[in-house]
Amino acid sequence: MADKRQLGGAVTAESEPEAKRTKTESENRREDGEDFDREHVLSGFKTSSVLSDSAREKSIFIHGKVADQDAVVILEKTPIREDALAELFSGSTLKLEMRNDIYSTYRLQAPPHLNEIKTTVVCPATEKHVKKYQRKESFLVEETEEDYKNITLPYIQKQSFSVQWVYNILEKKAEAERIVYEDPDPDAGFVLLPDFKWDQNQVDDLYLIAIVHQSNIKSLRDLTSEHILLLQNIFQKGKEAIFQRYNLPATKLRVYLHYQPSYYHLHVHFTNLGYKVPGCGVERAHLITDVIQNLQSDPHYYKTRTLYFPLTADDGLLSKFKEAGRL
Ligand code: M7G
């Protein structure tokens, strides 16, 4: 199964040396102990509350403090990789829990490097980050052209998340070594890199984002027929770059934009079709192919259409829709 392959095994001949280098570097780090530094950023982490958790997703979102600063920490167990199975079976200890006829269950204790937890830290975290990761009820909102002008736009101009991390990527001040592909053209160009939700260990949960160089496009709502070339360029070159690097063909990709996004600087999500990632549902994800076609048939499609999207109970934008009597 193509999707089960470990990243190193899935790359093309051209990109294989890079994948090997990545693996060797991480092994070296393990050998010299750098990865296991006990004085790490989370060693003094104090938990305030669990924002949400999921036994099924094997993840937990925690709010707490790192040296008096608010922080959100996300812990996620990573998928079991097919290429690690041999080592997992030979190098682990097994504790029998129960045996009955042909059935037996065990607790398997794997070697530490096969039992890692992907960890994301947001610090200092704003109140908006804390809310973003809290489990909460959602409501579907109907946003007309007028609603966007009168309610949403003024709200996002005041409230939206800082996009400094986006500028850092575009200016190569952060994550420069993670860039998979760049088209530097100021109008049609973009940077393609792994989303920070993806640990890059296996293609099953592949997740990249393409961030456009143009800085004046907030979201889907700003797109007109003028942006068709930009979108086609992202779609075409993004697909090619992903095939080159990860050997995943376009037929295995879900390429889409979020409305509403969390960050109002235009970006496109590239995820593995076989991976049911949160936010890929019809209420929030708009396939780039549909977006292009809609703009081809009506240059102002996204300026004028009524758009629907979910907002959570504690979202300030939901309160604005309520205050305006639109909910
Ligand atoms: P979105 O549609 O604005 O919001 O997507 P969402 O987070 O609700 O999906 C922004 C995307 O950028 C998300 O998939 C994030 O995981 C990703 N992302 C956010 N930050 C702060 C970073 C970052 O610093 N680096 C990278 N590589 N990805 C990020």
The pLDDT of 277-288, averaged and rounded, is 96
Nearest CA-CA partner of 10 in 201, 246, 238 = 246
Nearest CA-CA partner of 79 in 164, 215, 197, 183 = 197
Element (H, E) at 318: helix 316-323
**What's the mean pLDDT when you consider all of the chain?**
89
Does 167 score more than 90 pLDDT?
A: yes
Give the position of tokens 């800082």: 162
Tell how far the Cα of 196 is from the centroid of ligand 1, in angstroms: 7
Question: For ligand 1, what atom is nearest to the CA of residue 264?
Answer: 3
Does the Cβ of 262 fall within 6 Å of ligand 1?
yes
- 269 classed as catalytic: no
pTM assigned to the model: 0.79
267, 269, 286, 300: the active-site residue:
267
pLDDT one-digit tens code per residue, 61-92? 999 999 999 999 999 999 899 999 999 999 99
**The predicted structure's pLDDT at residue 12:** 32
Q: Tokens at residue 304, please? A: 């004028």
Question: For ligand 1, what atom is nearest to the CA of residue 257?
Answer: 2
Q: Tokens at residue 28, please? A: 């070296």
Higher local confidence (pLDDT), 236 or 54:
236
Does the Cβ of 196 fall within 6 Å of ligand 1?
yes
Q: In what order do the strands lie in the sheet with 69-77?
A: 46-54, 59-66, 69-77, 117-122
Rounded CA separation 291/194 (Å): 23
Closest residue by Cα to atom 21, ligand 1, is 165
- Tally of CA atoms within 13 A in the half-sphere of 275 that contains its CB: 26
Rounded CA separation 273/280 (Å): 10
Confidence bin at 38 (pLDDT 50/70/90): low
Most informative mutation of 196, 212, 254, 284 for ligand 1 (most atoms within 8 A of CB): 196
The pLDDT of 40-55, averaged and rounded, is 92
pLDDT one-digit tens code per residue, 240-250? 999 999 999 99
